[in-house]
């Protein structure tokens, strides 16, 4: 059976955390490890997480919840900590405020991971994302959607798969930690590097063909939009070259004027 490590990063997240935890608790899928990596919150975040752990344990649903709260260097430092603790076949990051859309979400992901005898598990499983507000109300489908055939080159045109809908094989993810020199766009760089490694190993990237994440609109990237765009340019330049990145951004600018 496929196993999943769900990593939730928190810091003073008491206002948005509970729906995230509830969405993991309601998963019908049994083989789930939920790692809550907290940055030494000073509000009720840890208490909420501990109450959730007790509820999950009492449900005897097969889920294993682990909580670690200590100071860290920021979001991507915490994500690296979660990566190193993950033991599932696949790891996915579901941060405070984000959530699984339905009880059968992980069942659908596991189904997409199925392979025949002698075949290796796909390097990445990826799906679609809906955008929600802080109360969980549906706002829209994510503007960028994953192509049927995804490669690391696909991200030249933007982050076509939302980070929360990107399931990386844990053995690959562990050797490719997030680059903490980026403050807002290390997730883009990480996804590209994971896909590159998958191609190097001749592994599949498989489309789940389902909405697998509800993404809360007001994240760090939204709040720091200008800085995020600057970092994304550096990520694109790193992976696709300066000339190609400049040409693409010129096209993006022209397209926005035409619209």
Cβ-contact 144, 56 below 8 angstroms: no
Per-position pLDDT tens, the chain of length 259:
999 999 999 999 999 999 999 999 999 999 999 999 999 999 999 999 999 999 999 999 999 999 999 999 999 999 999 999 999 999 999 999 999 999 999 999 999 999 988 899 999 999 999 999 988 899 999 988 899 999 999 999 889 999 999 999 999 999 999 999 999 999 999 999 999 999 999 999 999 999 999 999 865 445 566 788 789 889 999 999 887 778 765 655 555 556 5
Q: How many distinct structural domains can be found in the chain?
A: 1
Question: Would you say residue 129 lies in a domain?
Answer: yes
Is residue 252 one of the residues assigned to a domain? Answer: no
Assess if residue 106 is contained within a domain. Answer: yes
| R_g (Cα) of the chain, nearest Å | 18
Q: pTM of the predicted model, to two decimals? A: 0.92
Query: Which residue range is the domain that position 21 belongs to?
Result: 4-223
Task: Give me the sign of the Cα torsion angle 232, 237, 242, 247.
Answer: negative
Residue 229: inside a domain, yes or no? no
Residue 132 lies inside a defined structural domain of this protein: yes
Domain contains 255: no
Residue 235 lies in a domain: no
CATH number for the domain that contains residue 123: 3.90.550.10
Query: 136 — alpha (psi -120 to 50), left (phi > 0) or beta?
Result: left
Report the C-alpha dihedral over residues 54, 8, 151, 242, rounded to 10 degrees. Answer: -170
Task: With respect to residue 259, please indicate whether it lies within any of the assigned structural domains.
Answer: no
Structure tokens at 210: 């389902």
Round to whole Å and give the CA distance between 152 and 48: 38
């Amino acid at each position: 059976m496929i196993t999943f490590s769900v990593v939730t990063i928190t810091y003073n997240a008491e206002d948005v955390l509970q729906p995230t935890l509830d969405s993991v608790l309601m998963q019908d899928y049994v083989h789930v490890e939920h790692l809550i990596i907290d940055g030494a919150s000073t509000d009720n975040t840890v208490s909420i997480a501990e109450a959730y752990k007790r509820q999950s344990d009492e449900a005897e649903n097969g889920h294993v919840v682990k909580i670690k709260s200590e100071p860290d260097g920021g979001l991507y430092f915490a994500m690296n900590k979660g990566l190193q603790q993950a033991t599932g076949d696949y790891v996915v990051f579901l941060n405070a405020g984000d959530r699984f859309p339905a009880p059968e979400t992980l069942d659908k992901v596991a189904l997409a991971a199925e392979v025949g005898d002698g075949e290796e598990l796909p390097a990445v499983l990826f799906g679609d994302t809906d955008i929600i507000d802080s109360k969980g109300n549906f706002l829209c489908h994510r503007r960028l959607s994953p192509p049927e055939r995804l490669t690391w080159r696909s991200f030249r045109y933007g982050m076509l798969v939302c980070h929360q809908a990107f399931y990386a094989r844990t053995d690959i993810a562990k050797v490719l930690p997030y680059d903490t020199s980026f403050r807002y766009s290390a997730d883009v760089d990480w996804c590209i590097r994971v896909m590159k490694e998958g191609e190097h190993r001749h592994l599949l990237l498989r489309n789940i063909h389902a909405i697998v994440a509800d993404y809360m609109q007001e994240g760090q990237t939204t709040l720091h939009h200008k800085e995020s765009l600057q970092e994304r340019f550096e990520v694109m330049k790193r992976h696709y070259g300066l000339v190609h990145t400049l040409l693409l951004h010129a096209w993006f600018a022209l397209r926005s004027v035409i619209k």
